[in-house]
A and B are shown apart, each in its own frame.
Chain A
Amino acid sequence: MSDFLLILVSTVLVNNFVLVQFLGLCPFMGVSNKLETAMGMSLATTFVLTISSVCSYLVHQYLLIPFSLTYMKTIAFILVIAVVVQFTEMVVRKTSPMLHKVLGIFLPLITTNCAVLGVALLNIKKMNSFMESIVFGFGAAVGFSMALILFSAIRERIAVADVPSPFKGAAIGMVTAGLMSLAFLGFTGLVQI
């Protein structure tokens, strides 16, 4: 149990996907203008990341390894992610139209989110077990969500702040992201895995 807790803390704080490993920067900069959309995006990403890390583990374990095709894992994982995203969109549209309205445009965007592919590949690299893969995927998603929501909350305040005109918009966003990244590097050494 404590193993899982360590993985969770490690992926959320120490090896935060966005701020330490610099994966999934596109939605991090692109969807963080408003807190509401950031929350929608993090919800969708959490869901897809967890499911796709499970699916890609299964595909790797029971399809690629027996046929000794592990060198095809990138292509296979891209396929898995695309299918999971598409399937998720269908299910959400059917079961909860409200959630579909909130997540709507973000779901297809996740297909090209490198954090999702990164989690799948890192799971293989770290030789995680099935449960560990789930926790790792979920932890990565929580870390992504936390970084995205914190960053968008900061950006909402920056939008009304008196920023020098050369720094307005994306520039001050980049500076802020850099500072947040520095702050998260402070967690290094909290846990060792």
Chain B
Amino acid sequence: MSAQPLLCARGVWKFFGDFAALRDIDLEIAPEATLALLGRNGAGKTTLLRMLAALSSPSRGSITARGEPLRSENYRRRIGVISHDIWIYDELTAQENLDFFAGLYGIRKAAVRISQWLEITGLARVRHRPAREFSRGMRQRLAIARAFFHEPEILLLDEPFTALDDQAAGLLRGLIARPSGQPRRTIVLSTHQLQEALGLATEVAVLDRGRVAFRGPNTEDLRASPGDLYKKFSEPTP
């Protein structure tokens, strides 16, 4: 049912000591939406994404995926994450890295899937070289393979374009933009780069100092004057 939200955050607070990184977040994300999560540094985007990636729990409130808590193994099996960090073992080869994660995610017929994705990310020729030898762009492409190859229903991308080289960026853009033949995914994409985000997203949420300052569909107006987004929906600094 497309009406029911896939991800649902209710009254979520996250404290680090006494500091509230997230304040009373109410957020719903529909299936197959591509949500651009925008906001300044320190607004809470990474904190929220880490929670969605089941890396931390809310201090108050709850986040669920179709009613399931996010720490459930069922949910974790259906997410793919691209983080600031690479999440790749330097000492293992590209093939071994993907083999390992295939095992963790319980992928059947992993060998075929891995070969496919090594092709897609242009790493087929170096599949038996340790990741330590790769260039930065190659490592990022391996991370993309790791995040996508188990065909997750939900993708969580934390500022993925910041450090990608052109080849990797193009690849990722293509994967997000949902070409035909690709399975339908729900994507949460946090980024600084407004133009990029608005070009790919169907929905927009702006975080400002831990609160949801704006939530709505990605419209022509927004695309026309993206700079206004922050001005309109951020509290002025006292």
> A and B bound?
no
Interface residues of B (CB under 8 A from A): none
Interface residues of A (CB under 8 A from B): none
